Structure 1
Amino acid sequence: MFDDCTRDACVVVPGIMGSVLEDAATGRPLWGVDLATITDALHGGALFTTLQADAREREADGDTARRAPLTRIRATGLLTKPWWVPVLKGFDPYSKAIKVLEKVTPAREAVAPFPYDWRLAVSYNGALLARAARAHLERWRERVAAVPEWLTAGEARPRLVFVAHSMGGLVVRAALEQDPELAADTRAVVTVGTPFLGSVKSVLVLNLLHAQRKPGRLVRRVQAMAATLPGVHDLLPGYRCLDRGMDVERLTAGDVARFGGDQDMATRSLDERARYRKEGFALPGHRAIVGEAQPTVQSLEERPHAGLAVAAGRHYAFDIGDDLELVRDPRTGIPARRDSLGDGTVHTPSARIGTDAITYVYGQHGTLMRHDEVLRQIRRIALERPDPANLGGDGTGPGLETPDLGGSLGTPLALTVTGLDSPAGVSLSVHSATTGRPGHPLTLRPDPERTDGALSARFTADVPDLYRVVLDTHRHVPVTQLVLVTPPDA
């Protein structure tokens, strides 16, 4: 009965914005419960103001978590319904991943979700995770010891398996680095779309007000919140990404402040990036699942506008040679640009660093945790199946591009499909992610404004809603993304 099970304890760690948050004093839901709360004209503003980090929360680190954890806002669970935020786009629930793990363990108690206050620093949440994972492992070991048939003679005591999405992988790394004994008790760490080198999209979130001539309510609220959050600053890219024409620089704290962020929080985050570049930290049993072939912002150009520093995202990165210097065109000396693609949020090199055990999938960042191939790989790793051949990674395959800021009712949404030679045999559809209303099949045509052979379609929503866009080639697992359509003034 238990031959096809793992006896290890499993912990699921969500990404940024993937935990449900509530006001600890009142129990009022703040995040992850009802999308209407964040788009509501009257109440959304107060909600986003509450979510802004106060002075203590901005300073909290691992030592704070060990001495006196903060209590103003409480994480109560993982997302159970689809969610959406400008620039970072859609986030799917984690329920499917949890169910996959529950099915390959002797009892559901073996699987523990770790909700955390993603607004706060990675180091702070890492310390809390270390404590929670140790307690979970000890409880599970006691449970297993009480049921002799769950372990065969000579079988080792249960260890830990972490399954971490996005920023959750950084939280796991912080936990294991802070607690070496916990690292020794860890069999495997599965990271799904984790930005080990950071993500340029964090800068674009901080820069929302600068980049939009007339930002809507939701955009203004998200930027004002993000500018106060250590968690957002901990996603800043640490690689050379600021294109200066004849040179490419790493972001400085001053750059981040000009782009709308906080200089002190940026200093701490970028210093930590520099430490990892110098010292590194190997995750035990690390397997990376990497989304590929999706159009992904990988670098930035600074475009001054009306006295503001506008960060313009670019879909290319820069090659670094074995000497750690920029690779340049031998004739012109211009830095060599290359589209590394990614999962729409994290570019490929950032998600795969630190391990050679990599599985590539065609999928969008926020929807990877419900992707059938990702779920299959999580199951395989939990059961200690042999690693598959390292396929993919060349960036070829179906990609999906949706508007970063969502859509407005009555205005057509531009949806773009990349990486395909022809629309023959390909379907693109849009349906409600909240009500299950039937989908709208769309007609794909060559995009006359693109030179890369991309296909495009238009969708006009008839009601405000969160919509799921589904690209199905009938040869691969469908690629999906979420798009929020709001009333015109939102």
Structure 2
Amino acid sequence: MGMVGADGSVRGVPFAGAVPVFEDRTRDACVVVPGIMGSVLEDTATGRPLWGVDLRMLTGARSGEGPFAALRADTREQGADAETARRAPLTRVRAAGLLARPWWLPVFQGLDPYSKAVEELEKVVLAREAVAPFPYDWRLAVSYNGALLARAARAHLERWRERVAAVPEWRAAGEARPRLLFVAHSMGGLVVRAALEQDPELAADTRAVVTVGTPFLGSAKSVLALNLLHAQARPGRVVRRVQAMAATLPGVHDLLPGYRCLDRGLDVERLTPGHVARFGGDPHLAARSLAEHARHRSSWFALPGHRAIVGEAQPTVQTLEERHTDPSVVEGRYYAFDIRDDGELGRDPATGIPARRDASGDSTVHLPSAQAGAPAPAYVFGQHGALMRHQEVLRQIRRIALERPRGTDLGDGTGHGPGLETPHLGGTLGQPLTLTVTGLDTPAGVSLSVRSATTSHPGHPLTLRRDPDRTDGALSARFTADAPDLYQVTLDTGRHTPLTQLVLVTAPDA
């Protein structure tokens, strides 16, 4: 039915002039929740930055372990949970804001800033104050940060509702009250889930939760991060300090895989606290995390309006295997196991061997973990740490914020596409790095380049060649850095959104 009548009236009301057309905006309040490493941390007492500000703590130009030692969780921080957050929040370390510059950590690799995601949401809300970032101390338990988020999100929603009610143009008759939209990356999705589980009224006030690369079933990479000292014959300075820090952090242990991931040849097991302790972690923190996984397996909490965006086609560690000569060393494997609906392993009917397959992922979170519980995931070719600045991901976030019809696939629908593989422990000055491209038949028309992520220096184009040491037809190129720095690797096929990953090159240890 038309709105404008033959007499120029609009819905029966006399009207002179052109019919106004308004910009499409959402009335809802938005909260952006980063992943692990994604919040700047500082010493509350001194204001000294501990994380996300001074890259020299990683590149080797700064001596001493200073911030790394300060980031280790003490006994009280290790025991902090939701009740702690409600009664006596911790104050030693403060989350000062979202990550504003590229960062990097061994195993977990690169993480890009969250500024683009915030900017895109600000374009589709009624006013910029409708978008609230939620920085948090990612070192601590998901349950603790979930309680803090529940309180912060409720306060943000109430402030925004008061603001909307005070503006006549926004207070449209018949319009529903604003609700919440959460946009969460990686571990941030687990924090949102904890917040909404703890506060059912907040869940009822939530229209949608967008999770981007969230490891609902955990990530095998977290075990590799705890195992750094065992796995390295001569671990470098950064590796030593990161492992010593990670072993104390509840947040890292909350990323442990809860699915069956330990390859035993003819069987596959779930991790136990004993396994985690042998690999370099804390058995008590592991027991708490693995118990949470068991609870979710028995009673899955469905996020309201859940929209999962999932990275695929990237080489991703999915399962683990103990080294035969040293069971304290665990090695990542790029395949998963088929699990039937009854929970049993899928096996080859002739041999009884468990069926292994490469489920791929976003280089950190494998596909089944990121899509768990989501009714209609959207898939994109992208690296984990760069997903929140990936153009297709940002487009999907805008669509969901504006309540567009849900998309189902941002790739080509096949699950096969370009992948980028970089050294997950970074590199040392003077030593060449091997950069690998997967999923492509030929280097023709493909561009691979490396540039400093901290300066404006132009990138170095690299020559891709078929890698004779790979059986999967991968392409590779070599790059030797001329200075310690954080470098951005960019793969552009000309047909897909470019893939990016960060690689840290450090000075040699003294």
For the structure 1 residues 452 and 362, does the alpha-carbon distance in structure 2 shift closer, same or farther, using more than 3 Å as the test? same
Aligned-residue Cα RMSD (Å) equals 1.2
SS in 2 for 1:139: helix
Alignment partners' CA distance in 2, 1:245 and 1:309: 17
Alignment partners' CA distance in 2, 1:308 and 1:248: 16
2:361 is the alignment partner of 1:335: no
Letter of the 2:332 partner, please give it: G
2:371 is the alignment partner of 1:357: no
Alignment partners' CA distance in 2, 1:191 and 1:66: 25
Alignment partners' CA distance in 1, 2:292 and 2:77: 18
Shift of 1:394: 4.1
State which drifts further: 75-84 or 330-339: 330-339
Name the counterpart of 2:69.
49
Name the counterpart of 1:171.
191
**Kept in 1: contact 2:59–2:507 (CA 8 A):** no
Name the counterpart of 2:41.
21
Name the counterpart of 2:503.
483
**Kept in 2: contact 1:165–1:194 (CA 8 A):** yes
Structure 2 unmatched ranges of 5 or more:
1-20
Alignment partners' CA distance in 1, 2:58 and 2:249: 17
Alignment partners' CA distance in 1, 2:384 and 2:193: 19
2:96 is the alignment partner of 1:76: yes
- Select which of 79, 87, 103 maps to 2:107: 87
**Kept in 1: contact 2:422–2:435 (CA 8 A):** yes
Alignment partners' CA distance in 1, 2:260 and 2:470: 27
Alignment partners' CA distance in 2, 1:57 and 1:270: 19
Letter of the 2:464 partner, please give it: L
Letter of the 1:5 partner, please give it: R
If you compute each CA radius of gyration, which structure gives the higher value, 1 or 2? 2
Alignment partners' CA distance in 2, 1:252 and 1:441: 46
Alignment partners' CA distance in 1, 2:420 and 2:280: 28
2:271 is the alignment partner of 1:251: yes
Alignment partners' CA distance in 2, 1:460 and 1:181: 54
**Kept in 2: contact 1:20–1:77 (CA 8 A):** yes
Shift of 1:332: 1.5
Using the size of structure 1 for normalisation, the TM-score is 0.98
Alignment partners' CA distance in 2, 1:44 and 1:9: 43
Alignment partners' CA distance in 2, 1:40 and 1:397: 36
Instruction: State the percentage of identical aligned residues.
Output: 79
Structure 1 unmatched ranges of 5 or more:
none
- Select which of 213, 221, 229 maps to 2:249: 229
Alignment partners' CA distance in 2, 1:264 and 1:353: 26
In the alignment of these two chains, the number of paired residues is 489
SS in 2 for 1:75: strand
**Per-residue CA shift, 1:147-193, capped at 9, x if unaligned?**
02113210000000000000000000000000000000000000000
Name the counterpart of 2:210.
190
Name the counterpart of 1:63.
83
Using the size of structure 2 for normalisation, the TM-score is 0.94
SS in 2 for 1:142: helix
Shift of 1:357: 2.2
Letter of the 1:339 partner, please give it: D
Shift of 1:40: 3.9
Shift of 1:292: 0.4
Runs of at least 4 residues of structure 1 off by over 6 A?
none
Name the counterpart of 1:344.
363
Letter of the 1:454 partner, please give it: A
Shift of 1:302: 0.5
SS in 2 for 1:221: helix
State which drifts further: 161-170 or 432-441: 432-441
2:236 is the alignment partner of 1:216: yes
Shift of 1:76: 0.6
- Select which of 155, 159, 162 maps to 1:139: 159
Alignment partners' CA distance in 1, 2:175 and 2:423: 51
**Kept in 2: contact 1:403–1:413 (CA 8 A):** yes
Alignment partners' CA distance in 1, 2:91 and 2:224: 30
Alignment partners' CA distance in 1, 2:58 and 2:455: 18
**Per-residue CA shift, 1:370-407, capped at 9, x if unaligned?**
10000001111000001124465643000000001111
**Kept in 2: contact 1:297–1:344 (CA 8 A):** yes
**Kept in 2: contact 1:2–1:150 (CA 8 A):** no
**Per-residue CA shift, 1:333-376, capped at 9, x if unaligned?**
11110000000000001001111221111100001001000000
**Per-residue CA shift, 1:110-169, capped at 9, x if unaligned?**
000000000000000000000000000000000010102113210000000000000000
